[in-house]
Amino acid sequence: MTKARSSLSTKTTMHAVLIVYTIIALFPVFVILINSFKSRRAIFRDPLGLPNEETFSLIGYQTVLKQGDFFLYFQNSMIVTVVSLALILLFGAMAAFALAEYRFKGNTLMGLYLALGIMIPIRIGTVAILEMMVSTGLVNTLTALILVYTAQGLPLAVFILSEFMKGVSDDLKNAGRIDGLSEYKIFFRLVLPLVRPAMATVAVFNMIPIWNDLWFPLILAPAEEVKTLTLGSQVFIGQFVTDWNAVLSALSMAILPVMILYVIFSRQLIRGITSGAVK
């Protein structure tokens, strides 16, 4: 009896703690979202109230859509993220396969070399990266960003994928070899489909940091036509500091795509982290 009651009160305490923390985590996002739909007066008079018939207003969104080229920014972010992810996955999987499958001179050394980048942040090399992009004329192009993010994502991708590829059965690959498949076909037809879950994990891990990065867009591609959504909203908000409607709407519009991605991929993301892929 007492045991049952004490476990009930433990459960209640647990839920209470979790609910409080969930509120802390979501409150700022919630406040931004509801106020972006309110008129300027209502934002200040009743910041925590939900928008109603009287206070509802889309003026902020109108300003944002008129002044900032958010669709272009969104498109740029999309291109950069998708192409970088594709390259990380393709190149990463190929290198991981070479390291996991073949025994050759320098295999361990190559693995260590590629793993260096897991711990050393690529930002340290920014000065030389900018210089290189200037001299190759890639500054203010999306290509520059794609190259940087690909290089940044490869080390962890190779590491995670080669762990997975070591688990693919040798019998299957040898059966393929007996059937006369080339090493390339073995990789693309037999191994790649089997490591698809690990590839999804790598993709999800890389997606959010690439989408959210401010440093490299700011330094390598600040021009208007190649701005990413993160940089675009940063600049926009900086210019409209006093226009609260516009700032709140711009923030909401920047939150929206990430939230959609999260809702689609959250199961994959959480499964990826909890499967111990990054241990």
Partner 1 sequence: MATPSKPGIRWHIVVFLAPAVLVYTAVMIYPLFNTLRLSFFSEIDQERVWVGLDNFRTLFGNTIWSDQFWNALGNNTWFFIIHMLVQNPIGVALAAILSSPRLRFAALYRSAIFIPTILSFVIVGFAWKLILSPIWGIAPGMLDAIGLKFLYQPWLGKEEYALTTLALVSVWQYVGIPMMLIYAALLSIPDEILEAGECDGITGLSAFWKIKLPLILPSIGIISILTFVGNFNAFDLIYAAQGALAGPDFSTDILGTFMYRTFFGFQLQLGDPHMGSAIASAMFVIILIGVCLYLFGIQRRLRNYQF
| Sole window of 54-62, 67-75, 183-191, 193-201 interacting with partner 1 (rule: CB under 8 A) | 183-191
Question: Quick one: 52 or 174, whose CB is closer to partner 1?
Answer: 174
To partner 1, the closest distance from the beta carbon of 130 in angstroms equals: 8
To partner 1, the closest distance from the beta carbon of 226 in angstroms equals: 17
| Sole window of 51-59, 61-69, 97-105, 193-201 interacting with partner 1 (rule: CB under 8 A) | 97-105
Residue in 64, 195, 237, 246 binding partner 1, rule: CB under 8 A: 237
Residue in 2, 124, 135, 178 binding partner 1, rule: CB under 8 A: 124
> Which run of H or E residues covers position 111?
helix 107-119
Tokens 């991605």 locate to 261
Q: Is 248:43 a contact under the CB 8 Å cutoff? A: yes
Residue in 64, 114, 156, 220 binding partner 1, rule: CB under 8 A: 114
Question: Quick one: 214 or 225, whose CB is closer to partner 1?
Answer: 214
Residue in 78, 82, 132, 200 binding partner 1, rule: CB under 8 A: 132
Q: Which of 212, 128, 114, 220 is nearest to 163 (CA)?
A: 114
Question: Quick one: 58 or 151, whose CB is closer to partner 1?
Answer: 151
Residue 195, token pair as written in the block: 């490591």
Residue 184 touches partner 1, criterion: CB under 8 A: yes
Tokens 């910041």 locate to 47
CA distances for 261 relative to 7, 25, 141, 226, angstroms: 38, 18, 25, 22
| Sole window of 54-62, 65-73, 195-203, 270-278 interacting with partner 1 (rule: CB under 8 A) | 270-278
Q: Site residues for partner 1, window 199-218 (CB under 8 A)?
A: 208, 211-215, 218
The alpha carbon of residue 140 and the mean position of all alpha carbons in its chain are separated, in whole angstroms, by: 21
Q: Which of 2, 51, 17, 151 is nearest to 91 (CA)?
A: 151
Q: Is 46:30 a contact under the CB 8 Å cutoff? A: no
Residue 188 touches partner 1, criterion: CB under 8 A: no
Cα separation, 202 vs 206, in Å, equals 6
Cα separation, 160 vs 97, in Å, equals 11
Residue in 37, 97, 164, 205 binding partner 1, rule: CB under 8 A: 97
Cα separation, 72 vs 119, in Å, equals 34
Q: Is 137:226 a contact under the CB 8 Å cutoff? A: no
To partner 1, the closest distance from the beta carbon of 234 in angstroms equals: 5
Residue 183 touches partner 1, criterion: CB under 8 A: yes
Residue 197 touches partner 1, criterion: CB under 8 A: no
Cα separation, 277 vs 164, in Å, equals 9
Question: Quick one: 37 or 97, whose CB is closer to partner 1?
Answer: 97
Residue 71 touches partner 1, criterion: CB under 8 A: no
* Beta-bridge partners for 38: 56
Residue in 49, 182, 189, 223 binding partner 1, rule: CB under 8 A: 182
To partner 1, the closest distance from the beta carbon of 122 in angstroms equals: 5
Residue 59 touches partner 1, criterion: CB under 8 A: no
CA distances for 271 relative to 191, 219, 259, angstroms: 21, 34, 18
